[in-house]
Every structure is written in C-alpha cells, then in structure tokens.
Amino acid sequence: MNAGRTGLGNRRAHKGPVVAAGPAHPAVMAAIHAASFLPDEAWGTAIFAGHLSLPGTFGFVHEAGGVVLARAAADEAEILTIAVAPEARRRGAARAMLRAAIAEAAARGATTLFLEVSSANSVARALYESEGFGQVGKRRGYYEDGTDALVLAKKLSAGAGAAR
C-alpha cells in the first residue's frame, strides 16, 4: 500500500516511516492486515481498536504499508501480529516495525519477546533469526493449512530499548 491508501499522509508529516499506533489507526491497520492475509485470517478494525484499548498493548504502523501489534505484561512481551502489504515487501518495513516493537517491549520492562511464525514462512523466519530470535517451541498443525507454528523468543534488556 502506498502512504495515500493507508491514510498516513506524506513522509514529511512524520518523524520517520514508523509511527506509534493510536486511536486514529485501527482502520488503517485493518486495511494493511487485509491486504496481507487471506480474508478469513485478516483482522478487522474492531479487533485492532479493541487490542489498542487494552493496557499493555502497543502497535506501530509503517507508512509504506506495514503494521505490528504487541502486548507487554510483567517481564514478557508478545508480538500478536505483524504484516506488510504485498507491494511494500522486501523494502525494510518489517524490520523497522520489528525493531520498534523490540525497543518498546524493552522500554516497558520486558526481558523476553515472543512471537509465532509459520514453519513455511522462510522469509519471516530469516528476518526474525537475523534480529536475534530463536525457536523455543512448536505448535504442530497450528495453522488452518496444517503447517506448524514455531514459537520464537528474543532476550531483551529491560528498559534499554532495542537489544541485539
């Protein structure tokens, strides 16, 4: 998605390509998610709004067409979803959002950040590995197509921002 379609405006309106998600972003987040996933897997505006209203939940939107939603509780954090619209892929949006989520989780006191990824998603797996995530578990047949979900984790330095 281009910035106009996502409703994020032009780059000069922001201090960078990644902006913290707030009450104005659920529809944009849902549109990006819908472009990134099959219709029965895409999250709607109400899901994003509901999550963002919960304590400990945070998200970021990339102006090129990306979204990440995560939550932190006690000393753990979890990425709930990360998505990049097809036309914005392979340009660094996922890495930028992942790093923003890592930094925010650490700033909120998390010492470990978890996520799940399909065993068939080699591109995402390579990104997560390059950012220091390692496999800590597996959910066999977790996804509707029968693929396994790999549970990945990254150790963080709580309060220190992005730890690598």
Contact 64, 98 (CB under 8 A): no
Q: Which of 63, 128, 129, 143 is catalytic?
A: 128
Nearest CA-CA partner of 131 in 75, 68, 37, 52: 68
Which of 76, 116, 129, 144 is an active site residue?
116
- Per DSSP, the residues of the chain read --HHHHT---GGGSSSSEEE--TT-HHHHHHHHHHHS-TTT---HHHHHHHHTSTTEEEEEETTTEEEEEEEETTEEEEEEEEE-GGGTTSSHHHHHHHHHHHHHHHTT-SEEEEEEETT-HHHHHHHHHTT-EEEEEETT-STTSPPEEEEEEE--TTSSS--
Catalytic status, residue 116:
yes
Instruction: Return the active site residues.
Output: 116, 128
